[in-house]
Amino acid sequence: MSRRHTTSLIADRTDAGRPCREGCARWLSSRTPALGLVLAAVMAVAGVWPVGGCSQQRTVRQSDYVAPPRDVPGFLRGTIGAETALRGTEPILVSGLGVVVGLNGTGGGEISPAIARTLEREMALKGIGKASEGALAGVTPEQLLRSRNVAVVIVEARLAPGAPKRSTFDVFVRTLPGSSVTSLEGGKLWTTDLRIGPAAVFSAQKTRKLAEAGGAVFINPFSDTGGGASLSTVEGSRVAMTRTVGRVLDGGVVTEPLMLEIVLDNPSHSRARSMVSAINTRFPEGPGDDGPTARGRAGDSIALRIPSSYRQNPGDFIETVRFLRADQTFADAAALQYVRALKEQPGFSRELMWCLVAIGESARKHIAELYDYPELAPRMAALEAGARLGDPRTVRPLIEIARSAPVTGMRLAAIDLLGRMNYNPNVNAELRELVDARELEIRVAAYEALSKLRDRALTRTVMAGTEPRQPKFVIEQVPSTTPMIYVTQQGEPRIALFGGRSTDADGRMRIEPLKLERPLLVAMWNDRLLMDAGSSGDIRLRFKDDRTGQTMETVVPETLPEFVQFLAHKPTPEDPRPGLNLSYSDVVGVLFELSRREAVAAAFATEEDRLRAQIFAAADNRIMSERPEDSERVEDMAVQVFRPVATPGGSTNDSKPSAADDFRSRIVPLTRPAKKSN
């Protein structure tokens, strides 16, 4: 990557030349005063003066060293990425010390004085003290931190490059090293400030706050609460389990985003203006934006903000800017050039795809000829560009690839692109068929696409949480002939119930919800939850709430969607229906146990856990050392830094997946579908 270097080439100026310079100025002023002043000023600014006498005119010049052009293919010349360096495109580690409340006697313990002072000060600033009202009335921060229902935790997250204001993300929560906390189950993370770098107590340097995090803690639901940690091996998948780490799904919110910055290799005000104009033309200010997308800055750099429409996909925006042409004239000619290059240089298919996306609507009419191109790489690049630009002509070939491509990754890529399309009945109908595919990852990908499209065939029920912005989780019923329970561990917490679709003797399709199998006998959580039923009759449940000490005995619904709602529902005066008010992780744990015991005839699958590895990889980012302006000097005290921990036995290189890895299988099957023997 080239850098800007400037050297001054200034000729020697001797005292002998000074009288001549002064004489020339006086002569010009005496002849034409106004003209003399103007010319003298121009000559001084330009650095051109006669030296060593008027008869010897030696030019004194100041010139910039011009950075050599980048070694890029010819079709990339003129793009923004070929002439600039884009700063701030690495993922950022943010973290802080937080407090989890609402535990059931599993917290407390001693904490170091430095940590206690840090958190006591933060809580005092937020109004927690003896003067507080409600449940915290008369409780000091010191007393609160030592409560058995409270745990001090390290909160960590990975911010996507250029994440805009109000964008959300998952956060990772873990207890302090050596802590006596035994479980974070049922806890709620109080709002915690997240700053650049690893979590630390008061130190010589206080890094910039970028986000906040808070909400219900979700812990691994596939372990028994009676033990501290366990490990399950299912079909070759090892799933680490512990109840002293967890996450808050979608619980982080960006409050002070870091601006991206474009720095030109060779400074040029006119070129910078052209780039600003090109970016703002391609990405005009829209609803929710705080200003123009690009704005020129002193020193020929450009400040860049992520448009609100790209809040959940900032990477797509960054790539489009990289391949955007600074000169927006002759867009059709540029599109034709890229199409020819796709045929001639298929090895650059990925780069050319983004070049076509950067052109925008003008490229759609030129790339359609490649939708049926015999060579695979150009065809997929054209189809992806067309789908990203909303071209409905990509639907038919993408459906064919999703149905029958020989490589699973290609099928997953096609399904993902179909999920990006605007409403198209053909797309939705095809995805509904793919949820019955033989391959597990294809079924899940089709469901995810339908969920993203808010397909009407999916019945969506939102289970309310303690905060309106953050529901407890979402139940989605997916009509399918292949019964399955699928739960998410990233982003929006969702439980997808596949099944209920069948065909009667007349060939008509019927949809009936999944039901609990009989007879059944299930005991969980040291017999705190018991379920039993005979071959007929009601399904009885007994549950002891160890928080309140109360025991409930009731008859539960036999249909799975209604049963899940019963598990999560909290009775209120407005809605007094019975319910257990279980957390998301507890509900998922119950469903997993039912599937494992064959009390429900459905397979069970979940997402691969990638958050911890991404956080560890983000910790290697050099932003802490390269952004001293993001730090504030505070009182000098001992530094204590809690660095991110790698996933045991897992890769920490997930922050930069290759194009081939973008659509690899990330679904973990935990149980196989089984039919109960009579």
Task: Look at the pTM and tell me if it is higher than 0.85.
Answer: no
**What percent of the chain stands above pLDDT 90?**
40
Cβ atoms of residues 257 and 305 within 8 Å: yes
Dist CA 654 CA 417 (whole Å)? 22
Most confident of 31-40, 117-126, 211-220, 474-483: 474-483
- Mark residue 471 as left, alpha or beta (left: phi above 0; alpha: psi -120 to 50; beta: remaining): beta
- Cα–Cα separations (whole angstroms), residue 13 to 17, 22, 45, 628: 7, 14, 15, 40
Looking at residue 319, what is its pLDDT? 94
Compute the residue count for the chain: 678
Cβ atoms of residues 202 and 637 within 8 Å: yes
pLDDT in tens, 202-222: 654 678 899 999 998 988 766
Over 90: is that where the pLDDT of 224 sits?
no
Residues pairing with 95 in the sheet: 156, 195
Looking at residue 39, what is its pLDDT? 37
For residue 519, say if its preceding peptide bond is cis, omega within 30 degrees of 0.
yes
Dist CA 176 CA 155 (whole Å)? 10
Query: How are beta strands 494-498 and 151-159 bridged, if at all?
Result: unpaired
Over 70: is that where the pLDDT of 66 sits?
no
Looking at residue 497, what is its pLDDT? 95
Dist CA 537 CA 555 (whole Å)? 10
More reliable by pLDDT, 509 or 14: 509
Minimum mean pLDDT range among 208-222, 233-247, 442-456: 233-247
Query: How is residue 309 written in tokens?
Result: 């429409």
Looking at residue 157, what is its pLDDT? 93
Query: How is residue 552 written in tokens?
Result: 């409930």
- Cα–Cα separations (whole angstroms), residue 121 to 49, 114, 149, 173: 65, 11, 20, 21
Query: How is residue 665 written in tokens?
Result: 């299988």
Over 60: is that where the pLDDT of 186 sits?
yes
Query: Other CB atoms closer than 10 Å to residue 119's CB: what's the count?
Result: 23
Nearest 5°: phi and psi at 195?
Answer: -120, 165
pLDDT in tens, 630-673: 444 444 334 578 878 776 544 444 434 433 344 444 677 766 55
Cβ atoms of residues 561 and 568 within 8 Å: no
Looking at residue 509, what is its pLDDT? 66
Whole-number average pLDDT of the chain? 78
Looking at residue 507, what is its pLDDT? 60
Average pLDDT over residues 458-485: 88
pLDDT in tens, 252-272: 999 988 888 999 988 888 999
Dist CA 450 CA 371 (whole Å)? 24
Cβ atoms of residues 587 and 466 within 8 Å: no
Tokens 């930069």: give the residue.
656
3-state secondary structure of 650: coil
In sequence order, the 6+-apart residues with CB closer than 8 A to the CB of 677 are: none
Over 80: is that where the pLDDT of 112 sits?
yes
Over 60: is that where the pLDDT of 330 sits?
yes
